[in-house]
Structure 1
Amino acid sequence: MAATHAPRTTAPRAPYGPGAAARRRRGALGLLAWLCGVVFFLPVAWMVLTSLHGESDAATNPPSLAAPLTLQGYREFFGASTGVSPWPPLINSLSASLLSTLLVLVLSIPAAYALSIKPVRKWTDVMFFFLSTKMLPAVAGLLPVYLIARDTGLLDNIALLVVLYTSMNLPIAVWMMRSFLAEVPVEILEAASIDGAGLPTVLARIVAPVVAPGIAATSLICFIFSWNELLFARVLTGVVAGTAPVFLTGFVTSQGLFLAKVCAAAVCVSLPVLVAGFAAQDKLVQGLSLGAVK
């Protein structure tokens, strides 16, 4: 009699495997990232919307989202009623930020090269010294800087702001550029030295293209810090060298706080930084993540 075999049964597959769990985790992280982005973007969107309202609508509590839109706040910023032009402060901020950022790059790249690719003796002490310069509150050095500027005739002068912004951003730039330059393959530099390339040639033709994202990230951060600086610019400048943040504080008067006008001025002052960040966003992300993944 032939033996009969019971039909084989296969275990049911799990509805959710390891791949599904990974996809759910990535989806949750993506949703969290979008929520964080929306939370951070809401104040900016609210500022832009308030700048497009009239003063009476902007001052209502709670604010009205369906209020009619107007460009009166922007007309006031550009001096429609007062005749005061915002262009000199904007140009002063742009000049001080660009010049100081350029000087920071010229000084920080060779310093970072010496501390990473060609390390000097006790380079950790040097890095700590750079970091220690950021431990002093800026307001603690305000009075000595003011006295020096007064005695040297540099008050209300763009050159003074360029020097100050360079010294304030240089430690940050050295730390950032050292982390970027530490990722440069040593073999490339050894091949260049064998071919007889000097230090300027190595920095300009070999190191700079490799760490271009890091240079872009460092430049943008230094530019933003210089553009947004208010304390020294408020105390050390006046009519001639006043910057955009100083001009922005002039909209808070004894007559009251006009929200629509202040929001319009804040949008205009923030626009150059937003444009620079949007234009260099790929380099910024690539530069800040350089070396994060081995």
Structure 2
Amino acid sequence: MSAPVATASPTTTAHAAPAASPRDGRRGAGGVLLSVLTWVIGLIFLAPIFFMVLTSFHPEVQATLNTPQYFAPLTLHGYREFFGASSGQSVWPFVINSVLASVISTLLVLALAIPAAYALAVKPVSKWTDVMFFFLSTKFLPAAAGLVPLFLIAKATGGLNQIWFIIILYTAMNLPIAVWMMRSFLADIPPALFEAASLDGAGLIKTLLRVIAPIAMPGIAATSLICFIFSWNELFLVNVLTSTENAQTLPAFLPSLVTSQALFLGKLSAGAFAVSIPVLIAGFAAQDKLVQGLSLGAVK
């Protein structure tokens, strides 16, 4: 009598591990190459900034050499020259003007852009797309094309060499961008929240402060940071409409560091890096809200 032949049960048969596909290896190699390429491109863009920061800590003699002296002695002489006003012109009035122009214009832009964006997103007016296109069309004209009318208006109103006129210009310059950004942020807020606020008897101001502001805070932070950067770095208008320290800002002060003796690169690099520090601090402090705000409305 022959012994029974054992058969493997389907439930007890071990499943063989799937073989690795060559395509998976190619995908992994492609991801590594893309990461390396991204780092290389980023370092290329950051290399001039690194060189400027390194030059700001070098003595003027080494900083002006045609061959870069990467291992030259480090010193704070350039920063002492920049903040110490060795040329006889103090930098602090320009710092105050930059802070006033940037902060006040940004606050004015937010105060005007948020209600306008609320009207265009939550309670849209008729032909609101034409209104948005009008806001965008104001950015089509180059600043140089409107320079003569702006100069004549400033002269007629006494705005030449006045910080209040610069604040008005910065507000008008950043308002279209702020309305576009805030409108896209507010359009993503569920309409039921506004209906609930209206049923509770909340007016426009209370709705903006109690309902919109907490929810749209990432968008408000992103908009305010971009407006602040544009105002802080603006040079063309302030360089033409101002000529004294009463209204000139830091970007207009930096060219005055250039001298005919050519010993200015260290001090100029120190000044450029010092002027960039407030923007860097604001960017790092609000980077989470900036990324979150700029990504709102990207995915529907």
TM-score between both structures, scaled by the size of structure 2: 0.90
2:269 to 258, 263, 266: 263
Aligned to 1:99: 104
Aligned to 2:207: 202
Is 1:85 matched with 2:80? no
TM-score between both structures, scaled by the size of structure 1: 0.92
The superposition leaves residues 201-227 of structure 1 with CA deviations (integer Å, 9 ceiling, x where unpaired) of 111100111110000000000000000
1:150 to 152, 155, 159: 155
CA distance in 2, matches of 1:143, 1:169: 20
Aligned to 1:278: 284
1:178 partner letter: R
CA distance in 2, matches of 1:184, 1:10: 50
Aligned to 2:299: 293
CA distance in 1, matches of 2:187, 2:14: 59
Q: Which moved more, 1:79-88 or 1:94-103?
A: 79-88
CA distance in 2, matches of 1:97, 1:43: 26
2:75 partner letter: T
Helix, strand or coil for the counterpart of 1:256? coil
Aligned to 1:176: 181
How far 1:289 moved relative to its partner?
0.7
CA distance in 1, matches of 2:299, 2:24: 22
Q: 1:120 to 1:232 in 2, by over 3 A?
A: same
CA distance in 2, matches of 1:77, 1:227: 18
CA distance in 2, matches of 1:230, 1:213: 28
Q: Which moved more, 1:90-99 or 1:75-84?
A: 75-84
The superposition leaves residues 158-198 of structure 1 with CA deviations (integer Å, 9 ceiling, x where unpaired) of 10000000000000000000110010010111111111111
How far 1:35 moved relative to its partner?
3.4
Is 1:37 matched with 2:36? no
Q: 1:26 to 1:142 in 2, by over 3 A?
A: same
1:70 to 75, 81, 85: 75
Aligned to 1:233: 238
CA distance in 2, matches of 1:85, 1:65: 30
Is 1:118 matched with 2:123? yes
- Report the aligned-residue RMSD: 2.4
Aligned to 1:165: 170
Q: What is the correspondence of 1:16-27 to structure 2 with a 5 Å cutoff?
A: none
CA distance in 2, matches of 1:62, 1:49: 14
The superposition leaves residues 239-282 of structure 1 with CA deviations (integer Å, 9 ceiling, x where unpaired) of 21110000011112344362111101101111111111111111
Q: 1:67 to 1:26 in 2, by over 3 A?
A: same
The superposition leaves residues 26-49 of structure 1 with CA deviations (integer Å, 9 ceiling, x where unpaired) of 655544443343233222111100
Is 1:253 matched with 2:262? no
Contact 2:60 2:263 in 1 (8 A): no
Q: What is the correspondence of 1:39-54 to structure 2 with a 5 Å cutoff?
A: 39-54=44-59
For structure 2, list consecutive stretches of 5 or more residues without a partner in the other structure.
none
CA distance in 1, matches of 2:171, 2:102: 9
Q: 1:56 to 1:191 in 2, by over 3 A?
A: same
Q: 1:223 to 1:151 in 2, by over 3 A?
A: same
The superposition leaves residues 14-71 of structure 1 with CA deviations (integer Å, 9 ceiling, x where unpaired) of 2359987776666555444433432332221111001001122112233021111111
1:60 partner letter: L
Contact 2:61 2:263 in 1 (8 A): no
Q: Which moved more, 1:147-156 or 1:23-32?
A: 23-32
CA distance in 1, matches of 2:125, 2:265: 54
Percent identity, please.
61
Q: 1:25 to 1:290 in 2, by over 3 A?
A: farther
Contact 2:64 2:262 in 1 (8 A): no
Contact 2:118 2:183 in 1 (8 A): yes
Q: Which moved more, 1:284-293 or 1:29-38?
A: 29-38
Largest Rg, 1 or 2: 2
Q: 1:26 to 1:166 in 2, by over 3 A?
A: same
